Structure 1
Amino acid sequence: MNAAPVLAAYTALVGIAAPHLLLRSGWPHRAPALAAVVWHALTVSFAIGAALTVYNLAMPTEHLHAGLVGFLHACGLHLDGGPPDPDATHRLAVALPAAIGTALAASFAFHVVRARRARGRHRQALDLVGRRSARLCATVLPYDTPAAYCLPGRHPRIVVSDAAVRRLTPDQLGAVLEHERAHVAGRHHLALAAMEAFHSVFRRLPLARHAREQTALLLEMIADDRALRSHSRDALATAMYEMVAARVPKGAFAVGGHAALIRVQRILGPCQAPHPALWSSVAAAAVAVPLLPLLVACPPGLG
């Protein structure tokens, strides 16, 4: 039996229904790192499901379990040393899903390179107008509004305005700098670039839109939690309030931003970690979800 109808239904479920269920859940903001992993797992699962759906539609008479060898043959890999498969249908069945993977990889590379170039241009401007502070381990920028952001990548740079240095207390400024260090250490720009790439390829898909928006918010929450390990909640919340109106360059992570109100409410609200059973279940689901399309296309026991 061909698995295309089941795969198509599963892919639609992941791409349309799953994002709304996740948005209605209350646990993601209590475990932002785990929630970010779940969003990435859903995008990977959708991409695999879409590729396998296209493959099964192009090969309606074969089951993937038997077709995996043909899949490898069409790619030029011959496990039995036999001659290449000349079947044009087989090659088309491989080319279509391969195009999905190629588009995602190319989009990811494009967003990474574009952001890197933008950050590079901004670093050059910082070298001209900013001054390096050894005490803060940051670049101080002459700007009359409290602001702080980081430029991640190979040559990371944390930037803080001189207005922030003047107006914020030492604890508030320390919380801000720790927040930015968390972005740099976690390589959050790569996680965000992956979501940007997925959104570029599947622009009209609800999963693509929500995954990009939620990942950006969750990464900020992850950095908030890192800052709260060594600084008070009041200090970080007050600093965010002071910086909510600050503008930052493209490709940078900032303490403020349009989601600052949600984050302040989370920081000052009751802190309750998810139950270990829930955490374990969601973590197991995040690992299993990308594998489900393979199990649907190739159920165990079929030869």
Structure 2
Amino acid sequence: MITAVALAGYATVVGAVLPSLLSRARWAHRAPVLAVLAWQGLMVTFVVAATLAVYHLVLIEQHVHRGLVGLLSVCGLAADAPPGGSTPTVTDALLLAAPAAIVLLPVGWFVRCAWQARRARQRHLDVLTLVGEPAPQYDATVLDHAVPAIYCLPGRCRRVVITRGALEVLTEEQLRAVLEHERAHIEGRHHLLHVLADAFSRAFPGLPLARHAKEQTGLLTEMIADDRALRFHRRDALATAMCEVAAGRPPQAALGAGGTGALLRLRRILTPQPRPHRATWLGLVAATVAAPLLPLLVACGP
């Protein structure tokens, strides 16, 4: 019971306390890649800790004295499980359904969200085939629409879309800067991070971690794409282009240059801050990797 309480407390801290602290951390916007890794680590940690806590609660009489090895023994996967031994009973299977559901729920939502996003992208690609005009010089598709907007459709049939309004208001450098931003989304497969955060939020609605992770993932991936564009283009060119296309809303399952937190990103672009110290990087990476391993060590204990 002590192990179950400890794991439940750990899951509560990860799911309800740490998200508000991480969302306000100053280093996160200076190292968005590391911050995205931290949010992914928290989501994995919550699932691992919550699963093991429920396992210890529902199987306390049968296997909790053997820690995680008890779970493997029930499934016949433990190294010391006797060959040809007793098979899991119906009761064992029903009890295992509770911790298994915590793992399968976000996995199921991920599959569904990925499928829905893919369908939405495909529908939009079908429309672009009919009304879009190829622009080989930009490796993009031009859409005859007056509102300035630039966005990308990631995935297997990737596409960058520029509206006619954006071509009219943006200079060549500004246009190139935003296109670099969109290619960063595509090459970084940021849509998968969005789907992961969306699936987690649907699997655990009301959980602070789910809400913050979804919001911050959208913002941080935009910052990552901004940083990629700033490697090749001036800050004022990207900032001005962002302002021009901010009114354009990308379609469902697309990633647009206006993106999330435009004002916050503009301030970050125009007033750059130093990157975190190398020691800070290493410490945060180590903490992110260790966080999901700690509940496993607790559960494997005698």
Classify the TM-score, shorter chain: over 0.9
Say if 1:175 and 1:227, in contact at 8 Å, map to a contact too.
yes
Number of the residue aligned with 1:222 = 224
Number of the residue aligned with 1:195 = 197
Residue 91 to residue 150, structure 1, CA distance change in 2 (3 Å) = same
Number of the residue aligned with 2:30 = 30
Number of the residue aligned with 1:284 = 286
Secondary structure of the residue that 2:156 maps to in structure 1?
A: coil
More deviation in 12-21 or 56-65? 56-65
Amino acid at match of 2:17: A
Deviation at 1:77, TM superposition (A): 3.7
CA distance in 1, matches of 2:90, 2:53: 18
Number of the residue aligned with 1:44 = 44
Alignment equivalent of 1:148, drawn from 126, 147, 150: 150
Gaps of 5+ in 2: none
Alignment equivalent of 1:122, drawn from 124, 127, 135: 124
Amino acid at match of 2:58: A
Residue 172 to residue 48, structure 1, CA distance change in 2 (3 Å) = same
RMSD of Structure 2 on Structure 1 (CA): 1.7
Instruction: Report 1:95-134 matches (<5 A).
Output: 95-134=97-136
CA distance in 1, matches of 2:89, 2:240: 66
Say if 1:65 and 1:297, in contact at 8 Å, map to a contact too.
no
Amino acid at match of 2:99: P
Q: How many residues are treated as equivalent by the alignment?
A: 300
Residue 298 to residue 65, structure 1, CA distance change in 2 (3 Å) = farther
Deviation at 1:268, TM superposition (A): 0.5
CA distance in 1, matches of 2:36, 2:252: 22
Alignment equivalent of 1:207, drawn from 206, 209, 233: 209
Say if 2:15 and 2:207, in contact at 8 Å, map to a contact too.
yes
Gaps of 5+ in 1: none
4+ residue segments displaced more than 6 Å: none
CA distance in 2, matches of 1:11, 1:19: 12
Secondary structure of the residue that 2:87 maps to in structure 1?
A: coil
More deviation in 74-83 or 214-223? 74-83
More deviation in 269-278 or 216-225? 269-278
Secondary structure of the residue that 2:28 maps to in structure 1?
A: coil
Deviation at 1:257, TM superposition (A): 3.2
Secondary structure of the residue that 1:256 maps to in structure 2?
A: coil
